[in-house]
Amino acid sequence: MSLVALPGWSGRDSLARFAHRIAWPLSCGAALAIALLLAAGPAPAEDKPTEGKPTEGKHSGRRAEAVRRFNCPEASQGVAVDDTHFYAITNRKIGKYEKATGKLVAQWEDAKGGPLRHMNAGVVVDGKLYCAHSTWPGQPRLSSVEIWDAATLKHIGNHSFGDFGGALNWVDWHDGHWWAVFAYYSREEGPEHVRRTTLVKFDPQWRRLAAWVFPQEVLERFAPSSNSGGSFGPDGLLYCTGHDRAEMYALRIPQSGSTLELVDIVPVPFAGQAFVWDRTQDGTLFGIVRRTREVVEAKMVEPAK
């Protein structure tokens, strides 16, 4: 496994070079028109994050910038992290890597014909790796938390929710409680269903205590999918991602009502999917770029005063 250098030129540079190639046989006026049209074209395609560029909507000026990138074939759903390793997660397989070197040190894979279908996010708590799992896109949507010994990657248990409503996409441990999102997808179930995506707070024994839904502005940015990742930040806010956009949403648990409050939209160098705050390093996150099978280590950057 090798570290990958950060890109040396942007998508806009790509468009300019493309315009130059196709325009040379045309008249000067036609070439200029094509170049201007391409330069003003649509936003970058899915899974091509635009690092550091502001997004529309609420934006404080904070952003996350990539520090290192690692090639990991398992990096298609999410990533978890502890003090010495990170864990790249795909539907039925986990790769454990050294944080310092990016070296693969262990793997786990479900047996052929085994029960796991769609693992997504993960979090390491007290030496155990907890992964959100569901039978998405199958029906009914059955959900469980699968548990591994982080040191050995031996599967040691699970908690089954059964048909809880929606697909379990992530879990986190915060303030003495478990938190989880059960997602509905606008692409598969219709745009009216994604608003049923629900954040649930559980006690340590997974008994449901409270629940909230996402604000409309965030739901619109999730489209055409849903919430993919979630992790509580060092400021106590809940940060969530969709499946496609290179941004995360800082949300506050409301003092009244049942809808989460959008505080900030933060550009990040990974294109949605499940991510995690590294609670062993200040201001550090780990995310993935699914298209290129990369794990991305990123640092938060505060706006200049």
Q: Is the pLDDT of residue 32 over 60?
A: no
Query: In this predicted structure, which of 15-29, 71-85, 217-231 has the lowest mean pLDDT?
Result: 15-29
* Average pLDDT, integer, range 286-292: 95
| Preceding amide of 303 cis, omega within 30 | no
Burial of 28 (0-12, 13-18, 19+ CB in 10 A): exposed
Burial of 180 (0-12, 13-18, 19+ CB in 10 A): buried
At residue 13 the predicted structure's pLDDT band, cuts being 50, 70 and 90, is very low
Q: Is the pLDDT of residue 52 over 60?
A: no
Helix (H) or strand (E) holding 14: helix 11-23
Q: Is the pLDDT of residue 43 over 90?
A: no
Q: Is the pLDDT of residue 137 over 80?
A: yes
At residue 158 the predicted structure's pLDDT band, cuts being 50, 70 and 90, is very high
CA distance 162 to 211: 18
Instruction: Please give the share of the chain, as a percent, with pLDDT higher than 70.
Output: 79
* pLDDT score of 47: 45
* pLDDT score of 224: 83
3-state secondary structure 198-259: EEEEECCCCCEEEEEECCHHHHHHHCCCCCCEEEECCCCCEEEECCCCCEEEEEECCCCCCE
* pLDDT score of 304: 82
* pLDDT score of 28: 34
* pLDDT score of 138: 86
What are the structure tokens assigned to 255, written together? 């003092």
Domains and CATH numbers, the chain: 43-301 (2.120.10.30)
Q: Is the pLDDT of residue 59 over 70?
A: yes
Q: Is the pLDDT of residue 25 over 60?
A: no
* pLDDT score of 244: 87
Token look-up 């900030």 returns 264
Nearest to 175 by CA among 96, 130, 238: 238
* Average pLDDT, integer, range 53-65: 74
Q: Is the pLDDT of residue 189 over 90?
A: no
Q: Which residues of 270-292 are buried (b: 16+ CB within 10 A; e: fewer)?
A: bbbbbbbbbbeeeebbbbbbbee
* Average pLDDT, integer, range 97-122: 96
User: Would you say 129 and 122 are in contact if contact means Cβ atoms under 8 Å apart?
Assistant: yes
pTM of the predicted protein model:
0.80
Query: In this predicted structure, which of 24-28, 72-76, 173-177, 233-237 has the lowest mean pLDDT?
Result: 24-28
Nearest to 169 by CA among 89, 81, 60, 84: 89
* Average pLDDT, integer, range 67-88: 97
What are the structure tokens assigned to 114, written together? 């085994």
Q: Is the pLDDT of residue 272 over 80?
A: no
User: Would you say 117 and 135 are in contact if contact means Cβ atoms under 8 Å apart?
Assistant: yes
Nearest to 184 by CA among 143, 156, 245: 143
At residue 246 the predicted structure's pLDDT band, cuts being 50, 70 and 90, is very high
The chain-wide mean pLDDT, for the chain, equals 84
* pLDDT score of 57: 58
Q: Is the pLDDT of residue 1 over 80?
A: no
Q: Is the pLDDT of residue 273 over 70?
A: yes
* pLDDT score of 17: 40
